[in-house]
Structures are given as C-alpha cells and as structure tokens.
Amino acid sequence: MKQIFLLSLRLCGIKNIDKEIELEFYKKVVSKNNFDPTNYKVKAIYGENGVGKTAIITAVSVLTNLLNNPNYLSNSESLVLLNELINKKTNELSISCEFVYQTNVFGIYKYSVVLKRVSDRKIIISEEKLEMQRSSSAKWSNIICSQNGVLSLSVSSKKLSDFITESTKNLLLTQSLIVLLKDSFISNAVMMDMNKDSSFTEAIFAMIIFSLKVYSFLDKEDSHDDYVFNVLLEYLEENQRIDSSDLFSVNHLRVSNMIIPKQTFISYENIVSNLKDFIKVFKPDLKDIYIDRKELKDSYLCDLVFAYDDYQLHGEFESTGIKKLVRLYKALCHVENGDIVFIDELDANIHDVYLCKLLEYFIKFGKGQLCFTTHNLGPMEVLESSKKSIDFLSRDCTIVPWIKNGNYSVKALYSKGMIEKSPFNLESFSFLGMFQGKE
C-alpha cells in the first residue's frame, strides 16, 4: 500500500501572517500500528475577510513552486511577487510540513524551509531541512540540512556525500535541495550507492514524492506551470515507487488557450469527457463539450466549446461559475487521485447544496486530502462529524480548531459569535451613513 498524508502545516511571514500558525490534519500520536486517516481527509478554514485565509493557500503555492521549479528564485516575475508576499515585518517566510509516507515501510517526515528577503530583487533560502522519525514518540533524525548555503548530511557513504556536496555547491541559496536532488539522483551509480543508506534513501524519495503530490489552487489564474522531471518519473515508475500516470501534466484546466502536447492529447480528451459529466450535474441541459484544436508544432492549442440543444458556446463566453467549475474539476481529480490539495474559496460560484454533496463524496470516497477556505456555512454541518475538519483563523493569527461542545452545532455557535476569537458583533445599523455622500 502506498499512502502519503499531511499531518501538519506551520507557516509564518506570508502576507499579513506575522506569527506562526499551525494547521493540524491528524491526531498527535502517529505510528505504523495506529495510523488510519479515514476520518481526517477534509478540512475547512473559516475566518473573517482579510484575516489571511488566502495567505495560507498562497504559502502552499510558494512551497510547491520552490520544490518543483529550479528557476523559481531566479525568475524576475517570481521575485517581484515574493517581495510582495513576504511579510514586511518578518522579512522571512517560513514553512514547515510533517507528513507520513507509507509503502512497505512507515516513516514520518518533517520538511522545513525559510526564505529570507535580502533586497527587493534578492530572496534566498536561508535554511532548509529534512528530518525523519519512525513514530511520533521517537526522536527526529536529521537527514539533510542547509543553513545559509552550508550543507550537512546524515549519510555514511562518502561517495554519495561527496556527490551531493559537489552537485549542490554554490546553489543552495537559490535552489531547493529537493529540486537539486531530483535532478542529481538520476545517475545509476548514485542510486546504487544510495541503497547502502536505506533511511537516507527512504527520506529523500518520500520528500520527492511529497513534492509531486501537493497542489494549490488559488481563486485566480496561476502564472506558473507545474514542473515535472520526466526522467525522474521514468525512474520512479520503473522502481514501482509511483505511477507516472498519476502525474499527468495538465494540472490546471481552462476553457481556452490550453497548450497540450500531442503525446498527451488522448489523456486530455479523456479528462474533457469526464469534465462533461461533472458539469452536467450543474447544467443538465449541457449535451457535450468539444475540443477546438489548432496545430502548434508538437502541441495543440485547445479551446473548449459547450454544446446545448440549439446552440454552441465558446468556453470563454460561459458564465463565471461554469469557468470556475472547469478549473476546479482538475483540482478535485487530484483529491480523488490521492493527492494533497489546497483550494482557496471552494464555495465561490458553487450552490451550497452541490458543495455539501461534493464534500460528502470526498469524506466517504476520496483517496486524498482536501483543505479549503470558505465563508459558506453549509460545509460546517457536513464536516462537524469528521475529525480535525474545521479551523478558524482570527485577526491576531491564531488558529482555533473546532471542538465538539455538547449538543451545540458548530454552525449555531459560529453564527452567534461563540467561537473563540471569531466575534460577529455587527448589526444592520453598523452600515448607516456609509453609502451617502459626505457634506
């Protein structure tokens, strides 16, 4: 059995979040014998407008870029964006994840990284660390660590140590260790030497898989493409570590201007066929979705056309809600596929009834993890029977988890302002005078 599960996420220094917050996705005690994430698969994050819910999803987006894109900290557009995202007080963005990766062996892993703003145009990795333990009661063992570009390893093979040190030399301030190791470990000679250090090997591959299985979907078009190392995936598949078909590169669907490599077009057609069935739940009068494609050397430029009884409509002119559902569909496919998915404003443009039924599906049948931000109260009733399923983010950067309180429903308590640090002391008359001109 292969299973990857996020246990916790800590972050600080993103947008308005200037104190460390922690999201917990599982109970404190974790071991091979008691690990069962069945009732822990879905989490909703609530909070007032502007408290930092989107900042959490943005931090995950930064993390996935850092772990998968070797040019992330050298790209001028990324640096401009990061300069705005990193909190102006802290001048540092820190992210830490604990996760389980279970194959024939069981391990708990902790990955942490700190990005430091040196200037408006220079952001470096000041610290990056990977640790491992066999159960939550054991001590953490350091696997690999970089501090201000200085590398330390926990590996017995001198050949492997020398290789990693040399291949990452002078690169650790601007590229993630994980990106560098993905590229470096393709060498068969290195792989053979890695087998002599089983714990080190397990930890590195667990981290590589984790980097490929975490996705974030912000409520806007992302400006980056997901980065996948094709040679690495071939190696992983040959060694039965992961099925590369799970990592099909079309991770963000759009209604227009999708560039699809010809060798993956059949997979894209299958996705669109399934997309049609998904959209028909929301628009029963939809008959089909066609792909309008144009030749682009080794790729196709694809637009989606929505067909109804009496007319056809180019996807660009569909409603905002339908376009949001198109993009959301692939995110939900990742959850179904066993991935770890963060979605900002899942409730936007989705009717409450449909949203609750979707969540019920992933609670009962989903293989992966779903964490989302929302303002809609409907999901509370669906999630309150699950565990670690509802968190509240306050204006002072505090996470307050939902804890069952007698027979009170979480929805009733929240609406009455009875959740700690989630006051709703607003009355209708609070808006008096706000929509009139001032004399």
Q: What is the mean pLDDT of residues 369-378?
A: 95
| pLDDT surpasses 50 at 409 | yes
pTM of the predicted model as reported, rounded to 2 decimal places: 0.89
Least confident window among 39-48, 277-286, 330-339, 397-406 = 397-406
Q: For 289, phi and psi rounded to 5 degrees?
A: -125, 120
The type of residue at 339 is: D
How many Cα neighbours within 13 Å face the side chain of 43?
A: 29
187 half-sphere exposure, CB direction, 13 A CA radius: 12
Predicted confidence at residue 193, as pLDDT, reads 62
> How do residues 137-153 score in pLDDT, each as one tens digit?
889 999 999 999 999 99
What local confidence, expressed as pLDDT, does residue 200 receive? 87
Question: What mean pLDDT do residues 226-249 have?
Answer: 40
Q: Which CATH architecture has domain 3-255+318-424?
A: 3-Layer(aba) Sandwich (3.40)
Query: What span, in angstroms and rounded, lies between the C-alpha atoms of 395 and 21?
Result: 12
45-54, 163-172, 395-404, 417-426: least confident range: 417-426
Look at residue 103 in the predicted model and tell me its pLDDT.
80
| Alpha-carbon distance values, 132 to 8, 110, 180 (Å) | 14, 6, 19
3-state secondary structure the chain: CCEEEEEEEEEECECCECCCEEEECCCCCCCCCCCCCCCCCEEEEECCCCCCHHHHHHHHHHHHHHHHCCCCCCCHHHHHHHHHHECCCCCEEEEEEEEEEECCCEEEEEEEEEEEEEECCEEEEEEEEEEEECCCCCCCEEEEEEECCEEEECCCCHHHHHHHHHHCCCCCCCCCHHHHHHHHCCCHHHHHHHCCCHHHHHHHHHHHHHHHHEEEECCCCCCCCCCCCHHHHHHHHHCCCCCHHHHCCCCCCCCCCEEEEHHHHHHHHHHHHHHHHHHHHHCCCCCEEEEEEEEECCEEEEEEEEECCCCEEEHHHCCHHHHHHHHHHHHHHHHHCCCEEEECCCCCCCCHHHHHHHHHHHHHHCCCEEEEECCCCHHHHHHCCCCCCEEEECCCCCEEECCCECCECHHHHHHCCCCCCCCCCCCHHHHCCCCCCCC
Per-residue model confidence as pLDDT tens digits over 246-257: 333 455 788 988
- The Cα 386–Cα 178 span in angstroms is 34
CA-CA distances (angstroms) from residue 279 to 202, 376, 378? 41, 21, 21
Measured CA to CA in angstroms, residue 7 lies from 193, 235, 367 at distances of: 31, 27, 15
> Exposure string (b/e) for 13-43, b if CB count within 10 Å is 16 or more?
bbbebeeebebbbbeeebeeeebebeebbbb
pLDDT higher at 244 or 117: 117
pLDDT of 336: 93
Average pLDDT over residues 79-94: 94
> What is the Cα–Cα distance from 11 to 393, expressed in whole angstroms?
13
Which of 63-67, 188-192, 252-256, 295-299 is predicted with the least confidence, judged by mean pLDDT?
A: 188-192
pLDDT value at 77 more than 90? no
pLDDT (0 to 100) of residue 249: 45
Pairing type for strands 106-119 and 92-102 reads antiparallel
Provide the pLDDT confidence category of residue 241 given band limits of 50, 70 and 90. very low
For 92, the token pair is 């540092």
Instruction: Report pLDDT for 184.
Output: 65
Give residue 190's pLDDT.
58
Check whether 234 has a pLDDT greater than 60. no
- What local confidence, expressed as pLDDT, does residue 4 receive? 92
What pLDDT shows up at residue 187?
Answer: 53
Q: What residues contact 342, with CB distance under 8 A and at least 6 apart?
A: 56, 57, 60, 214, 215, 216, 217, 371, 372
pLDDT score at 160: 81
Q: Please compute the mean of the pLDDT values over residues 9-20 and round it to a whole number.
A: 96
Given pLDDT bands bounded at 50, 70 and 90, which one contains residue 372? Answer: very high
Q: Which residues contact 306 (CB under 8 A, 6 or more apart)?
A: 279, 286, 289, 312, 313, 314, 315, 318, 322
Query: What's the one-letter identity of residue 323?
Result: K
pLDDT band at 225 (very low <50, low <70, confident <90, very high): very low
Confidence (pLDDT) at 439:
58
> Pick the residue with more confidence: 128 or 32?
128
For the stretch 198-224, pLDDT in tens is: 788 889 889 999 999 999 998 754 333
- Does 230 have pLDDT greater than 60? no
Model confidence band, residue 226 (pLDDT cutoffs 50, 70, 90): very low
Whether the predicted pLDDT of 315 surpasses 90:
yes
Q: Which residue, 288, 330, 279, 326, is CA-closest to 309?
A: 288
